[in-house]
Amino acid sequence: MSFVNRYVGEILKLHVSLYHALARLEAGTDTDALHALRISVRRIRSLLAPVRNIASMAPLRAAAADVGRLTTPMRDLEVMIDELTGRGMDAAAERRRNRLRPGYVDILTSNEMNELFAKLDEWPSALRASSLANTPSGLEKRIEKALTKQVDRLHLALNDPDFDRHELRILVKRTRYLTEAFPTISPLGKKASSSLKAVQSALGSWHDHHQWCLKAEVEPDLKPLAPEWERAALKAFDSAESRLLELSRLLPKVSAKQ
């Protein structure tokens, strides 16, 4: 199988997974449906990043970004509800749970979601018509170079204590998703790949607690939890920093400039 076909196949699999997630969300019985939908969208965006200079890929990239922004508030709400339920704050959780179904309907019927599926139908022929796809090993070399550049950026970020941890979290996700899609051309070994996943989880926990602390400043019923969330955020941050040190030891020394 040519690399172009492999690449198209990876995104087609995500296209199918989006249909499944959307059906689960419409059924209203699956609490992980929206999360699954967002993961598929993030993976699509990560796979498209190396071909962002191809003009015909821009509509799909924009549509995926729009769906990401559209679904973020509802996913944040789901996570908050789980947190409050776990702490026995049933009344506060229920008040927020009442907003879920209308929010899901808005997503299901949104122009953004319709546009994403329309662009997913169109993009394979646009890619195959591009000069990159018709240059021997062109697409494969582009993806390989993108992975190498991602590792270079990770090295720089990990050696910079002032590098924004929110941006680092995004960089880790993109590197992980590209590596998982194309492990044979990634410079990362299995241990480094596993470390990416651990770092993403630790930074995700810190991010969630940080966001909850911000919400507690404007939502009165959350204020009693703010001190505990602040402590948890610091603990998660320390855990993430430890994971980042481990990742820095596992990253290979590569350079996109070579």
What CATH number is given to the structural domain containing 46? 1.20.120
The one-digit pLDDT tens for each residue of the chain (258 residues) are 689 999 999 999 999 999 999 999 999 878 899 999 999 999 999 999 999 888 889 999 999 999 999 999 999 999 999 999 999 999 999 999 999 999 999 999 999 999 999 999 999 998 999 988 888 889 999 999 999 999 999 999 988 988 998 899 999 999 999 999 999 999 998 999 999 999 999 999 999 999 999 999 999 999 999 999 999 999 999 999 999 999 999 998 866 554
Last residue of a domain, one of 135, 154, 181: 135
Same domain for 153 and 78 = no
Residue 27 domain flag: yes
Q: Say if residue 168 is in the same domain as residue 239.
A: yes
What pLDDT, on the 0 to 100 scale, is given for residue 253? 81
Tell me which of 76, 104, 135 is where a domain ends: 135
Element (H, E) at 118: helix 111-128
125/21 Cα distance (integer angstroms): 25
Query: Do 36 and 77 belong together in one domain?
Result: yes
Whether 258 is in a domain gets the answer no
Tell me, what's the pLDDT at 103? 96
Query: Domain residues for 24?
Result: 1-135
Helix pair angle (58-86, 100-108), 10° resolution: 170
Tell me what pLDDT residue 192 has: 93
* Same domain membership, residue 198 and residue 168: yes
Question: CA-to-CA distance for 131 and 16, rounded, in angstroms?
Answer: 27
Task: Identify whether residues 107 and 205 lie together within a single domain.
Answer: no
Task: Evaluate whether residue 226 is within a structural domain.
Answer: yes
How much is the pLDDT for 132? Answer: 87
Q: How many domains does the chain have?
A: 2
Q: Are residues 207 and 246 in the same domain?
A: yes
Judge if 78 and 174 occupy the same domain: no
| pLDDT value for 258 | 45
Are residues 131 and 156 both part of a single domain?
no
Shared-domain flag, residues 91 and 172:
no
State the virtual CA torsion across 136, 140, 144, 147 in degrees, nearest 10.
150
Burial (CB < 10 A; 0-12, 13-18, 19+), residue 110, is: middle
The pair of structure tokens assigned to 47 is 């796979």
Does some domain include residue 99?
A: yes
Same structural domain for residues 115 and 208? no
Query: Three-state SS string across 157-208, please?
Result: HHCCCCCCHHHHHHHHHHHHHHHHHCCCCCCCCHHHHHHHHHHHHHHHHHHH
Within a domain: residue 32?
Answer: yes
Q: Do 147 and 130 lie in a common domain?
A: no
Answer yes or no: do 115 and 236 share one domain. Answer: no
220 within domain boundaries: yes
Contact 170, 207 (CB under 8 A): no
Structural domain contains residue 151: yes
Q: Which residues contact 208 (CB under 8 A, 6 or more apart)?
A: 79, 83
Instruction: Answer yes or no: are the C-beta atoms of 63 and 115 closer than 8 Å.
Output: yes
Of 105, 135, 165, which residue constitutes the final position of a domain?
135
